Each structure stands twice: as structure tokens, then as C-alpha cells.
Structure 1
């Protein structure tokens, strides 16, 4: 990252409207990479002062506990992160409309909520980023899909990409692909955890201890992912290399195929994407009602 980019971020005020785990992950990335001083970051939530105290003590960020008001933090921010739950989004964004201005950049991580809906809630055309990070951002290994409204400037794009690069990788996509991002990488870590749960349970059934089963499965998944990344080979090719004719792996893969493993994964990814659309549609209906 260039010094110019770092300087651009470090001089700004950032406000996180929502103080959940994803907000914390981004704050951790920004502060760990020393892109923004903690005192330039504010974090807001509705009423959980204990959580705000925890975040202040852990990262040094500003909250209402330090004496200023949520309204002042929102007015003074150059970048406002919209981090609330989808069910609360319409009401929460509409509530800040009198406090914000066209010069601010809004970064939303609200699943399914379109850029046009956010602009409507804010009262008109605005610089809006729609992003879908995942929970691996917590350890700096996130994957984020990013889409921009036409009003977002080149500098704001550079800042946005620097922010999400601090917690992993990012891909710039057309907004129409955001539901696909949700289905693949947004919800994706949970699919892997679910698979790991089943492998661990099966290992225990075969006689391994819980701790040994977990250790072996975690290392197996980690090693497989690193093989794909480090070799540059396609997963299908690496799978073929492991699958000896009439061997143990082939027997397992054949059973998975018989039980429509690939079809099940495909349906799950599509359903997650579809659900993101449903959530966004529900929010948009609430705006017009």
C-alpha cells in the first residue's frame, strides 16, 4: 500500500454504526495495520454500554462512554460504516438521515440491502459502498465482495479497498453479483465448519478421541486449502491426484456422489444467495410501506 493511501486513511474520522463481531474485525484490521489511530474511530450501538467499554479498553476506540454523543460521532465522520442487523437496518439508517451529509462515504455490510435502498433511506444520491465480508476477517483472512454507487470517487474506492485489504482479500463486483458473493464467501465459512463437524463426529465414532479428531480434521482442512493456494492447481486436479483407482478415497467419493454431495452444496449456495435477496426485498418493502 502506498504512503499516499495510508496518509489518506489516517487523516479521516471513521464511525461504525453497529458494534458487532464484523465491526470489531474491521477495527482490529485497521488498528493492527496502523492505518488509522484508534482515537479516530468511533463505535456505536443502541444500548450495550458494557460492549462499548470492552471495545474501548481493547482497541482504544471512542464511544459514548468517553463523553461524546452518537450524533456528534456520526456528524463528524468521513466514513460511516452501516453494520446493523438487516431487521434493524431501515429504521436505523432512516434515523441518521438528519445527521449525515453528501460528503460522507457510507460502507454497508447489510446482507441483501441494495445501494438504491440505502440512498433512498439517506434521502438521495450518496457515495455508498455495498460490501459482503465474511467472519474470517476476524483473523485477517477474510474475503469481501465490494460494489460501488456511481457517486463513489476514485479516492473513496482506494480507501475502501485499503480498509478491506486490512482484513483479507477483496473482489470488486457488479452489484448484481452481491447475492452470489453472499452465497459463496459470505456464508461459506459456515459450510466448511459444518463439514468439519461431520468429519470430527465420524472420527469419534471410529474410535478417536474428540481432541485428536478435532486436531486431525483442522490440520487436514488447513493443509488442503494451502495446497490449492500454494500449488495453484485446481481443486479437481488435486482431488484426482489423491484418488487412487479402487482405493479408499475413491470409495468415499463414490458414496458422496451417490448421495448427491455436489448437488447439495450447489443448492445450499443458491439458497443462501436467494435468502440474501429475500432479506433485501423485505427491507425495501418496509421502506415503501
Structure 2
């Protein structure tokens, strides 16, 4: 990787800038970023990370072998229209745009490109994203390795078929919010049973970290691990019984299915919107 040009300067772009520099994947002077018009945001990123920014597309793309699309998905048509002349076949185009398919990017670019489409989540901000990545057939073996290294700077990377990305969105893309929702419930219950909020929050976070590490490192299934904690007649059994009576597990299953269906629906609508916006007036 010689130079990366990032189009868009939001939180996800910043997560990648931070990850790239922390992991010394590329020299900061070769990390370039731009956005539509928010100069204050670009100044902030320059000051915080020492990266480069410009609105001159010739300067931005000169020598760039990686182009990251990190604008808002609804702005993809306008942004790709603006840069399509600078995009070349040797570049690897990396998209973190939710719901924007590889074929839509190809249609908007109006030329054959090596394209990687990804679904990171907000935990990229702390280097703990669970990211799924799909790519088209033009991506070379060298570019696959570059992709692996790039997304490795913000967490775990899994390569999937593009058709699986809606399911990934419903599971891990939206997943942090489900966990935050669970934490909210645990915090409320802790207060109701007489614990101080700050102390309860520390206990809850450590409990979740410990449980996640057990699932990660143990050869046992999550079901086995749960059963080992659940002694007959004990406190855990009493709690699990209430969860089962209230259909909590099925609610989570339905939640992920609903999010997956919504991802498909939004992707279809967004594709139609973007390709319509790209038509000559």
C-alpha cells in the first residue's frame, strides 16, 4: 500500500485513520482524506492525526492505490460522479457504505474496478469491529492481502459472499446496539436490587468481557458454557427461567431476522435511488 485516499471524513473514516496509523500500516503523510465541504472537520483530522487533506482531486488521487468510500450512503452517487474520472483500473476501491452493492458502485463509476465491499460496525472506533468483507472478481491476490491488513487495523475480518452481507448487517453490523440494550437492562435492574450505578456498570462490563473471552477461547459451545453455570435450584437457573418465560432468546432471533430483512429492503431502495440520481438530467 503506497497511498490511501479516503472520501468522507466521518467517524468510520476516523476509525480507519486511527487504526492505520496505530498499526503503522502506512506513513501518515500518505493518508489523505477529503469530504464534500466541511473544512473544519478536515482541519480537525489533520491536527489530531497529522494526515493530509485536500479538495484538489488531482492531488488527492495522485499515486493512490487504495480509495476508500466512506461518505454517507445516500451521497454515494454525487461523490462517485465527482471522482469517477480519477478512478483507474489499478486502484482498489474499498467501500464501507452500508447497503451500497458492488454492482451499484460499478454502475456509478462507469468503468471496471477492483471493488471491496465491507460491513464494519461502530466498534471499529476502538479497534474491535467485527467486519465482513466481500469483493468482485477483479480483486487480485495482492489486493486481498492489502484488504486483510487494512481491516485488521480496526478489528476482526471475515470474508463472505456479497449475498451474505445483509445477514451480517443484521447480526454484527447492528450487533453493538443489541448489546448496549442488554447493558441498559442490566444497569436498571442493578439499581432496583440496591447496587450503586457506577459499581454496577463496572461489574456488568467485566462480566460481558469475561463471558465473551470464555466463548472465544473455550472449545465448548455457548450452550454448554451456560449449562455449566446453571446449577439446579440455584440463582442462575431462577434468572434463566424468567428469561425463557419472557421469550428473550426468541426475541433476539426475531430481532436479527428483522434487521436482516430491513437491510435487504434498504439496499434495494438505496440502489434505485442512487442509480436514478446518476441518470443524465
Q: Which 5+ residue runs of structure 1 have no aligned equivalent? A: 1-8
C-alpha distance in structure 1 between counterparts of 2:35 and 2:191, whole Å? 42
Q: Superposed, which structure 2 residues align to 1:184-223 within 5 Å?
A: 184-223=171-210
C-alpha distance in structure 2 between counterparts of 1:44 and 1:288, whole Å? 23
Q: What residue is the counterpart of 2:98 in the other structure?
A: 111
Q: Structure 1, residues 56-110: CA drift from partner, whole Å, max 9, x if none?
A: 111111013xxx6245313542111011122222222233212222221110111
Q: Which 5+ residue runs of structure 2 have no aligned equivalent? A: 277-281
Contact 1:200 1:210 survives alignment (8 Å): yes
Quote how far apart the aligned CAs of 1:216 are.
Answer: 1.1
Q: What residue is the counterpart of 1:5 in the other structure?
A: none
Counterpart selection for 1:131 from 118, 124, 140? 118
Quote how far apart the aligned CAs of 1:287 are.
Answer: 3.6
TM-score by length of 1: 0.91
Quote how far apart the aligned CAs of 1:48 are.
Answer: 1.9
Q: What secondary structure, in the 3-state scheme, does the structure 2 residue paired with 1:43 have?
A: strand
2:34 corresponds to 1:44:
yes
Quote how far apart the aligned CAs of 1:114 are.
Answer: 0.9
Q: Structure 1, residues 240-275: CA drift from partner, whole Å, max 9, x if none?
A: 011111221112111111211111111111122222
**171-180 or 41-50, which deviates more:** 41-50
2:39 corresponds to 1:31:
no
Quote how far apart the aligned CAs of 1:288 are.
Answer: 4.0
C-alpha distance in structure 2 between counterparts of 1:247 and 1:150, whole Å? 55
Q: What residue is the counterpart of 1:275 in the other structure?
A: 262
C-alpha distance in structure 2 between counterparts of 1:131 and 1:148, whole Å? 8
Structure 1 runs of 4+ with >3 Å offset: none
Q: What residue is the counterpart of 2:132 in the other structure?
A: 145
Q: What secondary structure, in the 3-state scheme, does the structure 2 residue paired with 1:56 have?
A: helix
Q: What secondary structure, in the 3-state scheme, does the structure 1 residue paired with 2:232 have?
A: coil
TM-score by length of 2: 0.93
Quote how far apart the aligned CAs of 1:47 are.
Answer: 2.0
